[in-house]
Amino acid sequence: MARAVGRVSQKFDVEVSRGKRGPGELSVIDPEYRKLSRQRAQQAAKKTRTTQLISQPQITNLRQPVEIGIRKKARDFRDPSEKRLAKPAEELTADLFRLFERQPHWVFAQLQRQTDQPLQHLKTVLMEIAVQNKRGPYKDMWELKKGYRLSGET
């Protein structure tokens, strides 16, 4: 955002002139235009939405009650006893290399589904062998670091 610093040396006031008037005479707004402006303002102020109270609900065969205002979290709904167990880092690294052989770019959620590892453990191991693209066509996707790529890949 640009900012101007300075001092005002002259001030000019501008008034809209309707018709030909002499210097110093104020213009009078036409009564028809005033009426049109008032009508436009009233039209814009009208409420367009309406509510209607229904005494008898007409929807009778709902299979389950609908709760408004409650959002379900989009999480993995697993049984708490089925927690993800962390593999040893060497084993997980080998699995990740196999996945990157199949395709060079992965979204983190896909990697987590494929390896079935806890989020933090997977991220720690992944950061050692791969980088996350911050921009470009593969934004937010992971790819192997240059030292780990196959020689034919770019």
pLDDT in tens, 114-147: 888 898 999 999 999 999 999 999 899 999 988 8
Helices vs. strands in the chain: H and E counts, helices first: 4, 3
- Reported as a single tens digit per residue, the pLDDT across 4-38 is 888 888 887 766 655 566 666 666 678 898 899 99
Answer yes or no: is pLDDT of 58 > 70. Answer: no
Average pLDDT over every residue of 53-81 = 63
3-state secondary structure of 100: helix
Amino acid identity of 8? V
Question: What secondary structure does DSSP assign to 16-37, as a single string?
Answer: ---S---TTPPPPPPHHHHHHH
Answer yes or no: is pLDDT of 62 > 80. Answer: no
Looking at residue 126, its pLDDT comes to 92
φ, ψ for residue 39, nearest 5 deg: -65, -40
What span, in angstroms and rounded, lies between the C-alpha atoms of 98 and 100?
5
What whole-number percentage of the chain has pLDDT above 90? 32
Average pLDDT over every residue of 38-44 = 93
Question: What secondary structure does DSSP assign to 101-150, as a single string?
Answer: HH-S-EEHHHHHHHHT--HHHHHHHHHHHEEE--SSTTTTEEEE-GGGS-
The model's pTM: 0.47
Looking at residue 84, its pLDDT comes to 79
What span, in angstroms and rounded, lies between the C-alpha atoms of 113 and 40?
58
Answer yes or no: is pLDDT of 43 > 80. Answer: yes
Answer yes or no: is pLDDT of 86 > 60. Answer: yes
Structural Rg of the chain based on CA atoms: 34
Q: How long, in residues, is the chain?
A: 154
